[in-house]
Amino acid sequence: MTNRKGLIALALSSTFLFGEIATAKTLEIGIGHQSMVTNTVSGGVILEKLNLIEKHLPTTGQYEDTQFKIVFRDYDSGPPITNQMLAAKLDFGVMGDYPLIVNGAKFQETGKQQTRFIAVTGYNLKGTGNGIVVPYDSPAQSLADLAGKTLSVPVGSAAWGMTLKALRDADLFDKVQIANQSPPVGAANIAAGRIDAHADFCPWSEIMEFRGTARKIFDGSEAGVPTFHGTVVREAFAKEHPEIVEAVLMATLEAQHWIQSDPVLAATKVSEWTGVEKEVLYLYFSQGGISTMEASIKPQWIEALKYDHALLQKEMQIPDLDFNAWIDDSYLKRAYARAGLDYPALVQKVVSPQPGNQGLPAAEMWVEGKGIQRFPAIADMLAAAKTAQAAGEEVSATYIYDNTTGLKLFGKAAYLVRDDAGSVVAFMKKSDSETHIATHGGTALLKGNTVAMLP
């Protein structure tokens, strides 16, 4: 009798056990991102490597018995992400401003599906991050020098939009041949001298500068259009799982704070995950650097998106886009409230470099094993770099600011001018350094294309 009761109890417990397993469900969350693109890392690779989304996922209500499977898929550009989202194989996409627009327009064109633009992952108000470079030993110093030459660019990217505007503004549109090349191909061709110039988005211009294969002759800030990257989500997914959208955005805010709180650590870790040099990443992540990692959707971004859309319609005949329907910051507002952040105040706050960069060190030096050293003047940094090198220390990179715009630069990519008193100022463009000498005097520390002893 006892054995029979035991068997019945075992059978009942097994029924309850397997019934519980049967009711458990697995929900897959697909995120397409671009780990090699600096402005997207707070919405992609950092979330993946630090497991940030998991801590914010819902566990009650309809999710009480849910197991989550987060799938990150890494791409070189935005269009493949959009294609995968259209096929419902990805729920979120992280991409640049131009691909974001194409994403929204293509979805709206179906008449059945929609995406929503829900957050910014990184920005530069003036457009730095996009740039045009030439081979390091090229005689070209300006856009005008590209007349009759070939320039490659990833067509449809923010760098492509910048290039079209820059060439038109300089009356060079019909004088420069444009070729479609991906970032790795363009960088390889620049290094081999197989192309006259290459335009690209962040951080490819700086990668080529750091590697010594290219020089920048045009910065995106000169085009006067902001550049940024952000996150879109399939509307159907967002409506069914608003709590998960908020979880992804909470993780994004955490990733952005992680970068801001320790840019050296962030640069080092992201370099390990992506292969982008840590010195390049620090140029973007550091205080006063190229990128600002803050997620709010500002009026400036909406104006830029509308400008970009008009250009895309003119050049590539993309569909119309209802911006009022597409842009949705309601999920982000809830995430900011949960994080204790003032969303309206951050919408109004826009970080942008200014000449002089008050409150920031005039120069920085990264010494292997010692980290970042900061200096009140460029001349002090130059002296310290010389001393460090003489002592056998490895100076990985130096950082200074363009005297004209306040943009942060690699020391070795800058044109330096020393005055009679020994003070040194830096310029992104050779022509600006020459104008400074003509106006204020001083001596160029740069001869031809060579910066003496400056990492």
Q: Could you read off the pLDDT tens digit of each residue along the chain, which spans 455 residues?
A: 444 444 434 443 443 334 444 456 999 999 999 999 999 999 999 999 999 999 999 999 999 999 999 999 999 889 999 999 999 999 999 999 999 999 999 999 999 999 999 999 999 999 999 999 999 999 999 999 999 999 999 998 989 999 999 999 999 999 999 999 999 999 999 999 999 999 999 999 999 999 999 999 999 999 989 999 999 999 999 999 999 999 999 999 999 999 999 999 999 999 999 999 999 999 999 999 999 999 999 999 999 999 999 999 998 889 999 999 999 999 999 999 999 999 999 999 999 888 888 789 999 999 999 999 999 999 999 999 999 999 999 999 999 999 999 999 999 999 999 998 999 999 999 999 999 999 999 999 854 444 444 56
In a domain, 2, yes or no: no
CA atoms within 13 A on the CB side of 316: 20
Q: Does residue 203 have a cis peptide bond before it, meaning omega lies within 30 degrees of 0?
A: yes
247 and 193 belong to one structural domain: no
**298 & 401 share domain:** no
Residues 245, 109 share a domain? yes
> Quick check: is 3 in a domain?
no
Which is it for the CA torsion 51, 55, 56, 60, positive or negative? Answer: positive
Is residue 97 domain-shared with residue 192, that is, in the same domain? no
For residue range 347-396, list pLDDT tens digits in order. 999 998 888 887 899 999 999 999 999 999 999 999 999 999 999 999 99
Say how many domains are in the chain: 3
Which CATH number do you get for residue 164? 3.40.190.10
pLDDT for res 305? 96
Residue 140: count of CB within 10 angstroms of its CB:
18
What are 365's strand-pairing partners? 373, 398
Task: Compute the distance between CA of residue 178 and CA of residue 162 in angstroms, rounded to an integer.
Answer: 13
Asked whether residue 180 falls in the same domain as residue 33, the answer is no
The whole model's pTM is what?
Answer: 0.91
Domain match, 213 and 244 both: no
* Contacts of 361 by beta carbon, 8 Å cutoff, 6+ apart: 374, 375, 376
Measured from the Cβ of residue 58, the count of other Cβ atoms closer than 10 Å reads 16
In a domain, 46, yes or no: yes
Domain of 81?
10-125+227-348
For residue 94, being part of any structural domain is answered with: yes
In a domain, 358, yes or no: no
Tell whether 102 and 242 lie within a shared domain. yes
**257 and 200 assigned to the same domain:** no
- With beta carbons less than 8 A apart as the criterion, state whether 167 and 195 touch: no
